[in-house]
Structure 1
Amino acid sequence: MTTAASAPVDRIIDNDLPTAETTPRPLSVNIQALRRRFTPRPAEDAWPATTQPREQVLQRLLSQPFQVDSHTNGHQRLQSRSLTLILDWLETLPGQTWQQRWLASGCDGLGAAWQSRIAQWLDGGGERYPLAGKHSVLPPGMALLIGGDVLRPTMAWFLSQRLGRSLMPVLERARDPEGFALLRKMCATDPGISEANGRMALGRIGVMVAAKGGLVRDVTVGDCVELLDTQAAVQKLTGAGMVCFYRLLHTMGVFPTDAPPSIRMFRSAGQLTCDELVDRYRITCRPIRNLLVEYLRERQPAMDYSSLNHLAFLLAGRFWADLERHHPGIDSLHLPVEVADAWKQRQRFKTITLTENGTRRMVTAPRRNVGDLLTAVRGFYLDLAQWAVEDPARWAPWAVPCPIRAIELVVHSKEKRHRKSRMDTRTRERLPVLPVLVRHVDEHRKKATVLLQAVAAARPGDSVTVADQTLQRAVMIRSPSGKIFADDPTASTRRDLSQEEHEAFWTWAAVEVLRHTGIRIEELTELTHHSFVQYKLPTTGELVPLLQVVPSKTDAERLLLISPELADVLSAIITRIRLATGAVPLVAAYDKHEKIWNPPMPLLFQSRFGTENRPVTGATIRRLLKKALTATGLTDPDGQPLVFTPHDFRRMFITDAIMQGLPPHIAQVICGHRDINVTMGYKAVYPHEAIQAHRAFLDRRRATRPSEEYRTPTAQEWDAFLAHFEKRKVSLGTCGRAFGTPCIHEHACVRCSMLWPDPAQKPRLTEIRDNLIARIAEAEREGWLGEVEGLRISLAAAENKLAQLHPDPAQRSPIELGIPTVTTDH
């Protein structure tokens, strides 16, 4: 079995996760309901402008406001010929209106190839006027027909080609001049909308006006959603500039008051129903599938969505879907012993794919959360048994013996102890180096700010030297986007100084707030301008600033004291995000755990993203922390780059607070824990705590013993102590007996285990050994058997002392361990 090594890898994929988790899933019921609530305007094939006869269409489109005096005669003749040519072609097609004839031609589905279809008709003899360059002649006439609301191609047709240069002037001049003028004014006065994004937003609004008819104020929320879906399908674009048009229309007051503040709400996953949560895993047995759905519905009122989703994953994915995958046709919760044991064994390990330097390999690693899975499955069986007593008609058929015994949960409880040990070790590794990280992010923020200000003050092309680095402000060919770029001559790269300063500031802000408050990452991202409250001390009347943490994991709010250092950080954040009017922008944030959109709030952790303000997400903070730690060069005991997670700051905050004397029950209130044992579980135990406790024990024990034992020794006693060590030198080496103890061998040093032989006395030891051998031979020859036994004991002791001086070379030679073989389980 190959286990996951500690070597750095590029990517890790868990192959044992249910495959349904990675397949695209439909929109949730809530998102579908929201889309049904805001439906797009239906496509029509008949309206007054498209039913007009040919002569009336030509007369209307070839006069003002479709034609302006600034157009040259040649341009007007081109428009007239193009318009006449397209109308001639449309007249050859079936239909009662011009729109019906356009749809019958099939050009709407051709996209940019619609001109080729008309060119084929022209080549077939249908051309009334001898025109060269047929493709260049057609767009002006098509722009007049669309701008005059004679034709309404679909949004996909508009997005598959470039017709804006000829169409937008017609729409703005003849269709809705007041509406488009107001939009242009809004784009010009909004500092967050660049020239390119504003032009793109106007083009998207023009597409909806041209495809659906009416004015700008007639555009609906459903039209915007349809455009966004079509845009993602045709152009594969979903960037920030692509959704700017919705914000403009929302600010303009086109939409109703209950319209979502962001169009991204229509594309989020949303909360899934219990049926959808179970159906992700494609369970074959319908009775079991229905049972799991009903069980989740019973548990749903007492659980948040994140916990419900995880429970569905454990029961439907890790439990029953795994059983169906290995035992096709299984249809009963009453599992045979061999089936249950095989499932437990499979869940103890997982097969993962490691991608390292472009090479993929399969390894097997133990699971760390087996206890959570067994607890969920056992709770499922026990709940069914309990509910069967309360409602037999509904639950009694499913009350069967549980395959998970209580003793198995006790065995797996050691996982929690191992987890506690790992977390304590992690905290002990990171708490001492926290000042290094804090100092680095602060210095990096200051350097990035100074560098940005210096380059921004320079003219394009000028060189600036700041902190021993020379940069040249980049000369931008395109329209300015508001960002400051600089070229680095030494690295031959272009740096986005605005982005560097942005990342440096929010890295510093996140580190400071996390380490001073110990709040969770989701609580950090939900801090708002309304989180600041004041408390008046009843004794002195002093106003104390407090930070209100909204309910998150435990659904209980709490108040934290704002220290002066934290106040400086929060003040810098508010100064950065505040508008020129002094207000903090309202931002709608998506809760990825609950899968819901929160109402617009003045979030503290927000930044400009494209054309709108968006919250700084937890994923962004994790990425910034990782980048900052890489720059510090800190490593863990294995030599790998040190990694900080936002939750590490919470553990370090609790550990440091309790070590500084904060009572644990006060730390529990500050951190928002329901159980004090959870708080103590966060606190890491340091070795010096045990040392201090042992010293305190020694002090208490000494206090109960006679004081004479701890008096200062006299001069005679001290001389006797020193003389003892002077008398430890003997002829064969050094005596190692303790102070004040007699010689137990009556100075027979060869036999004494306390003798440390001196290598320089080897000849003397050899002479003693040879003499003992000769004396033993003489005693045996003379029959002095009483001395033979004693001499042999002395001889063995002498040989032992010689062996201590020169151990057996075989014992000092290296041992060949061999090369281990590694097998891979696929």
Structure 2
Amino acid sequence: MSAVTETLDEARRLGHEPFDPEVCARHLQVRMASWQWRGRGDRTRFVRPLQATLEVLDGLDGESLAERWAVFEQTVWPRWLAGEDRLPWVTRWGCGVWSLVISRLVTPVWDTVARVRMSDWTRLLPADDPLIVSERRLEEVARECTIGGPSARLGARQLATKLMLVRGIDTLEQFREDDLLIAPLGRKGKNVLDVLLCDLGVFARTPRTGIERYRSIPRHTERELAVVHGVPEPFTEAVAVYLEAYSRRVSDRYPTLRHKAGALAHFFTYLREEYPQVTECSQITPAQARGFVPYATELARRRQRTVRRGDDQDRTTAYSWANEVRTFFSDMSSWGSEDESPLAAFAPSAVLLTRHDLVDTGILKARKRVRARMTSTVLDLQREMPNIRAFALRRWHDAEQTLAGAPDDVHAVVAERAAFWDWALIELLVTSGLRIEEACELTTFDVLKRTLPDGSIYYLLHIKPSKFARARVIPIGDQLGRVLAEIIRHVRGFYGTDHVPAIDRRDEHEKIPLPRAPYLLQAIRHPSALNTNTIRGRLRWISEQSGARNADGTPLILSPHDCRRVFASEHLNAHTPVHVIQALLGHATIDTVMIYAKLYPDQLVTDYRAAMRGLYSDVYGPDGTKAPTEQEWSEFTKGCSLRDMGTHVCALPTGEHCPRGLVCLGCGHAQPKKSALPVFRRMLHSHTRALERAHAEGEPAGQIAARELEIERIRSAMNRAEELTGDAAAALERAADVVSAQVS
């Protein structure tokens, strides 16, 4: 054992022995002899505040120094930080406190050292002190680390020093997983410290991001789920036994078990509040079970995260709870009738809730509202999704150009990575139709290469079992192949390797660790896997930045499952057979495909055009759609250049905007025909009688004014026709015939 280790052990022993200020002072004087002082008077300035601090500790309650230090941190230290009752500045009150800390006589809590720059104090320690040795090791491995900037790496070393003081450890190898949870989430240098500890082999895993460390909640057993979700005590055993049976017989998916436990907890809580005399499942009556539906509806309204649009606009949450309760009693009655079944003691005498009990509770209306919202969502996605994808692609290309002009700019590198992943995540989900958990579990091993008998090569993408515990493969087309290739290229570039490295990953839904593998979705800013929260956040951000809007004008927030709906709609509109879409999406039935994929508007427009084309052919015959001859086209062009309107000819050039909306009478471009004067007179007489009738019937002033304006237009056109000595329209037609003859 080295002398430094013996000294540290002695300091910790003194901290737990009966407190003696003189013994502690002598120990510190011996320790200070080996400290690295900057000047001759530097050590002298530490002696007086150290003695004053020991005098303060001597006046506190507690048997040992450790007990008195705990009281000091709770009562005295907060007042000193606030400038109250602390030692005079001439005594340098901090010197005494931090001398006790870095000498290991006391073990501080995190709040004490959180805001202190410990490097100002640890610089005094000798070169062989474990804190200095550990900091030097971290500094050496940080030189080869490409994660984070210089400030983040410095923060990682300082954070390690503080955690070692708080934990009372002397080597980096003594770090545990929970030690990184001491500092709050988002602490500067925390992720970099995790990377450095993994590089040193302290942790036998790959680095994690902060959110992954804090969300590593263990998977509860079926019995623990019943307790965690708050099932009342008389029914806890029944729910636990049922969940165990359901896990064996039907499905052991953790989200399903959690949802069932939550729904049953609501039901038995209602039962405990309304019918406290009921203490067993066999005592529950159908009337009591049916009363849970209005209770669940009101509870769901209180807990609803979104704002309801009306009194009858409830979500399907309450009915989902009621359906879980119905399934619970149905399964209990069925499984409990088996020989030696553990559910026999809890099975009710009859099925308490049936499907018919839920029909008149509003569930059908709620489902119709859900389908209507989904239809509206799909239509909005079909309208806005091309804009979102184009915006993401353009933003990535702009970031690439910026990086090409400044390849050493760290900010340009980070911006290019973020822009790429925004584009890659959208394109991966849209072109593959994967669920978010399926996309997160993709690895390079899932890209399968196959060769046909003729020698041609094609690729398949293997999708691991997820919702229905069934694996599937989908073909890799050009778009999906490009996305996968770009993802692999960027991951390699992040690590500077020729392969995608294997990393650790945790299944966030099942709460279990996954095997270490070269996952595709990793290394956006940190050498770890992308979690579902990151993916959802990136999609939300890019959709907001693109300016996408719903039909009602609200911002369109893109979710991973929206990309799956777009995939289904695009394939259905492209005439992909429904059973093929079902296989690509991994749905259990074709009906589910039709929920996601909507025929309107692409398929509807296509079918409408086909029907109209057949109707046109029936009316006009096969010659109705033939290409026009040169003579026919010349006559058509002539008619477009000089439009004959019957009573007049429009001389407005073809393609020019008509400010009157083709209201020709009274227009300066309209050349009236002298031969149309009888028509104008009949029109004037008819409109005049209509105006007189409007006055007599008391029509609104606006309609009367419109009739008067129409009469003025007819009278103006008639006067212009009467003033003509010849037919100006006929003259224009003759001039047009001469011009066309010269051109031909």
TM-score by length of 1: 0.63
- Residue 119 of structure 2 corresponds to which residue in structure 1? 165
- Matches of 1:547 and 1:382, distance apart in 2: 40
Greater relative contact order, per chain length (Cα 8 Å cut-off, separation 6+): 1
1:627 positional shift: 3.5
- Matches of 2:264 and 2:169, distance apart in 1: 53
The correspondence for 1:289, drawn from 231, 236, 239, is: 236
Q: Render the CA deviation track for 1:450-478: whole Å, top value 9, x for unaligned.
A: 34655778xxxxxxxxxxxxxxxxxxxxx
- Residue 162 of structure 2 corresponds to which residue in structure 1? 207
SS at match of 1:269: coil
- Residue 434 of structure 2 corresponds to which residue in structure 1? 519
The correspondence for 1:76, drawn from 43, 60, 64, is: 43
Kindly indicate whether residue 561 of structure 2 is the aligned counterpart of residue 667 of structure 1: no
- Residue 518 of structure 2 corresponds to which residue in structure 1? 602
The correspondence for 1:382, drawn from 309, 312, 330, is: 330
Q: Which amino acid aligns with 2:141?
A: M
- Residue 321 of structure 2 corresponds to which residue in structure 1? 373
Question: In 2, are the aligned partners of 1:605 and 1:615 still within 8 Å (CA)?
Answer: yes
CA shift in 2, pair 1:43/1:227, >3 Å = farther
- Matches of 1:548 and 1:360, distance apart in 2: 41
1:536 positional shift: 1.8
- Matches of 1:360 and 1:664, distance apart in 2: 35
Question: In 1, are the aligned partners of 2:292 and 2:322 still within 8 Å (CA)?
Answer: no
Alignment of 1:99-110 (within 5 A): 100-101=64-65, 103-104=67-68, 108-110=72-74
- Matches of 1:199 and 1:679, distance apart in 2: 53
The correspondence for 2:527, drawn from 574, 597, 613, is: 613
- Matches of 1:89 and 1:183, distance apart in 2: 36
CA shift in 2, pair 1:392/1:164, >3 Å = closer
Kindly indicate whether residue 140 of structure 2 is the aligned counterpart of residue 191 of structure 1: no
- Residue 381 of structure 2 corresponds to which residue in structure 1? 430
- Residue 351 of structure 1 corresponds to which residue in structure 2? 301
SS at match of 1:615: coil
Question: In 2, are the aligned partners of 1:513 and 1:569 still within 8 Å (CA)?
Answer: yes
Alignment of 1:128-143 (within 5 A): 133-136=89-92, 139=95, 143=98
CA shift in 2, pair 1:84/1:569, >3 Å = same
- Matches of 2:10 and 2:225, distance apart in 1: 35
Q: Which amino acid aligns with 1:225?
A: D
The correspondence for 1:624, drawn from 535, 538, 553, is: 538
The correspondence for 2:549, drawn from 613, 627, 635, is: 635
The correspondence for 1:445, drawn from 382, 389, 396, is: 396
1:309 positional shift: 0.8
CA shift in 2, pair 1:362/1:647, >3 Å = closer
Q: Which amino acid aligns with 2:116?
A: R
Alignment of 1:745-756 (within 5 A): none
- Matches of 1:700 and 1:138, distance apart in 2: 93
Question: In 1, are the aligned partners of 2:443 and 2:519 still within 8 Å (CA)?
Answer: yes
Aligned-pair RMSD on alpha carbons?
5.1
- Residue 225 of structure 1 corresponds to which residue in structure 2? 178
1:415 positional shift: 5.8
Matched residue count: 621
CA shift in 2, pair 1:807/1:498, >3 Å = farther
SS at match of 1:545: strand
- Residue 67 of structure 1 corresponds to which residue in structure 2? 36
1:699 positional shift: 11
Q: Which amino acid aligns with 2:456?
A: E
CA shift in 2, pair 1:217/1:346, >3 Å = closer
Question: In 1, are the aligned partners of 2:36 and 2:125 still within 8 Å (CA)?
Answer: no
Q: Which amino acid aligns with 1:113?
A: W
Q: Which amino acid aligns with 2:393?
A: D
Flag structure 2 segments of 5+ consecutive residues without an equivalent: 1-7, 625-682, 704-744
The correspondence for 2:467, drawn from 540, 553, 570, is: 553
1:112 positional shift: 7.2
1:506 positional shift: 2.0
CA shift in 2, pair 1:447/1:172, >3 Å = farther
Question: In 1, are the aligned partners of 2:503 and 2:516 still within 8 Å (CA)?
Answer: yes
CA shift in 2, pair 1:710/1:628, >3 Å = same
Q: Which amino acid aligns with 1:427?
A: V
- Matches of 2:159 and 2:341, distance apart in 1: 60
SS at match of 1:636: coil
The correspondence for 2:480, drawn from 566, 569, 575, is: 566
Alignment of 1:651-730 (within 5 A): 651-686=565-600, 689=603
More helix by share: 2
Q: Which amino acid aligns with 1:288?
A: F
CA shift in 2, pair 1:584/1:315, >3 Å = same
The correspondence for 1:299, drawn from 222, 242, 246, is: 246
- Matches of 2:99 and 2:308, distance apart in 1: 58
CA shift in 2, pair 1:94/1:681, >3 Å = closer
- Matches of 2:61 and 2:378, distance apart in 1: 77
- Matches of 1:587 and 1:379, distance apart in 2: 40
SS at match of 1:174: coil
- Matches of 1:348 and 1:759, distance apart in 2: 69
Question: In 1, are the aligned partners of 2:333 and 2:349 still within 8 Å (CA)?
Answer: yes
Question: In 2, are the aligned partners of 1:314 and 1:373 still within 8 Å (CA)?
Answer: yes
The correspondence for 2:421, drawn from 481, 497, 506, is: 506
Q: Percent identity?
A: 22
Question: In 2, are the aligned partners of 1:311 and 1:376 still within 8 Å (CA)?
Answer: yes
TM-score by length of 2: 0.69
- Matches of 1:502 and 1:403, distance apart in 2: 56
Question: In 2, are the aligned partners of 1:353 and 1:361 still within 8 Å (CA)?
Answer: no
Question: In 2, are the aligned partners of 1:147 and 1:175 still within 8 Å (CA)?
Answer: no
- Matches of 1:556 and 1:806, distance apart in 2: 79
SS at match of 1:507: helix
The correspondence for 1:113, drawn from 66, 69, 77, is: 77
- Residue 498 of structure 2 corresponds to which residue in structure 1? 582
- Matches of 2:191 and 2:430, distance apart in 1: 36
1:169 positional shift: 1.8
The farther-off stretch of 74-83 and 411-420 is 411-420
CA shift in 2, pair 1:95/1:804, >3 Å = closer
Kindly indicate whether residue 159 of structure 2 is the aligned counterpart of residue 179 of structure 1: no
Kindly indicate whether residue 257 of structure 2 is the aligned counterpart of residue 308 of structure 1: yes
SS at match of 2:351: coil
CA shift in 2, pair 1:67/1:624, >3 Å = closer
Q: Which amino acid aligns with 1:109?
A: E
Question: In 1, are the aligned partners of 2:450 and 2:460 still within 8 Å (CA)?
Answer: yes
1:290 positional shift: 2.3
Question: In 1, are the aligned partners of 2:79 and 2:86 still within 8 Å (CA)?
Answer: no
- Matches of 2:59 and 2:355, distance apart in 1: 82
Q: Which amino acid aligns with 1:674?
A: A
1:53 positional shift: 6.2
CA shift in 2, pair 1:160/1:438, >3 Å = closer
CA shift in 2, pair 1:327/1:453, >3 Å = farther
1:306 positional shift: 0.6
Kindly indicate whether residue 540 of structure 2 is the aligned counterpart of residue 591 of structure 1: no
CA shift in 2, pair 1:403/1:699, >3 Å = farther
Q: Render the CA deviation track for 1:222-247: whole Å, top value 9, x for unaligned.
A: xx625633x34xxxx54363354344
Question: In 1, are the aligned partners of 2:194 and 2:207 still within 8 Å (CA)?
Answer: no
- Residue 109 of structure 2 corresponds to which residue in structure 1? 155
CA shift in 2, pair 1:168/1:608, >3 Å = farther
- Residue 269 of structure 2 corresponds to which residue in structure 1? 321
Flag structure 1 segments of 5+ consecutive residues without an equivalent: 1-40, 124-131, 458-481, 485-496, 714-757, 766-802, 814-826
- Residue 679 of structure 2 corresponds to which residue in structure 1? none
- Matches of 1:530 and 1:566, distance apart in 2: 16
- Matches of 1:433 and 1:218, distance apart in 2: 53
SS at match of 1:312: helix
1:664 positional shift: 2.9
1:307 positional shift: 0.7
1:311 positional shift: 1.2
SS at match of 1:366: coil
Question: In 2, are the aligned partners of 1:83 and 1:144 still within 8 Å (CA)?
Answer: yes
Question: In 1, are the aligned partners of 2:278 and 2:284 still within 8 Å (CA)?
Answer: no
